[in-house]
Amino acid sequence: MKPAVVPPLVTPADWGGLRRFTDARIALGRSGHSQPTAAHLAFQLAHAQARDAVYATLDEAAVSSAVEALGLVPAVLSSAAPSREAYLQRPDWGRRLDAPSRDRWQALQPRPACPPADLVFVIADGLSSRAVNQHAVPLLAHLLPLLRGDPAQRWLLAPVALVRQGRVAVGDEVGELLYARCSVVLIGERPGLSSPDSLGVYFTWAPRVGRTDAQRNCISNVRQAGLSPERAAHKLYTLLTRARALQLSGLALKDESDGASETLTNRSTFTRDN
């Protein structure tokens, strides 16, 4: 009597070879009519990591120290959101500074005889402090030599604002208060189920309160498993150089850093949540 043939516990997907190209949950196979146990447990772990990223704390001391080591002056500020819960429930509070921070930042305005800064960097926790803790300073470390390298194209840099409970649009007020020509916001993006450490970079030419998403640009998915901080820095430098030449940002600014002329559109999905 022949032994009974036992079917495999997991039936692999026919197109599983594509998984090597992406972290997305594709070609997981099946166990009967259900997901395989390993895939289900991996999903639960990724969901927990995404939740942890939202509630993680910005390491202000470490980031401030690293910013100082790059030759920049950090200033720790707070948005109008008094707590993480308020930040999540009231996105509008995260887009403005609280009164003490506004006063402290305004005190750094350039004297009448001094020219305004070309760039002000804003580091905000956003929806993933983990992304900021890991990738914000490495990106700046790759970007600063480019900004400082050509004397004819050198950028005058303002102090760096580290904003607790900040969203993308807080960079408009930060830039406006210092009369900066451009604000660059490095912010933790909304965590995905395969990317809890993704950093977003948003820049706005002539920042002021009331700017819309269409007037700013975004470089997203900055992380080692996505767009590396080094590559993001080169792309950002190219776009900032074009923004300064054209005196604009947003939908009219084209990304030609990879040889293609494509519009670097605003990422409204992230902007709305950050």
| Torsion, Cα of 139, 212, 161, 234 (10° steps) | 20
Are the C-beta atoms of residues 187 and 174 closer than 8 Å to each other? no
Closest CA relative to residue 36, chosen from 8, 10, 6: 10
Asked if the model's pLDDT at residue 105 lies above 80, the reply is yes
29 exposure class (CB count in 10 Å sphere: 0-12, 13-18, 19+): middle
Tokens for 95, please give them. Answer: 């887009």
pLDDT tens-digit profile of 71-94?
999 999 999 999 999 999 999 999
Average pLDDT of span 107-120? 85
Are the C-beta atoms of residues 96 and 170 closer than 8 Å to each other? yes
Q: Give the β-pairing of 182-188 and 74-78.
A: unpaired
Superfamily for the 54-273 domain: Ethanolamine ammonia-lyase light chain (EutC) (3.40.50.11240)
| Alpha helices (runs of H) in the chain, residue ranges in sequence order | 37-55, 60-69, 84-89, 99-106, 129-149, 170-177, 229-246, 268-273
pLDDT tens-digit profile of 151-175?
777 899 999 999 999 999 999 999 9
Tell me, what's the pLDDT at 240?
Answer: 95
Report the Cα 197 to chain-centroid distance in Å: 9
Tell me, what's the pLDDT at 68?
Answer: 97
- Rounded to two decimals, what is the model's pTM? 0.84
Tell me, what's the pLDDT at 260?
Answer: 43
Closest CA relative to residue 84, chosen from 198, 174, 218, 188: 188
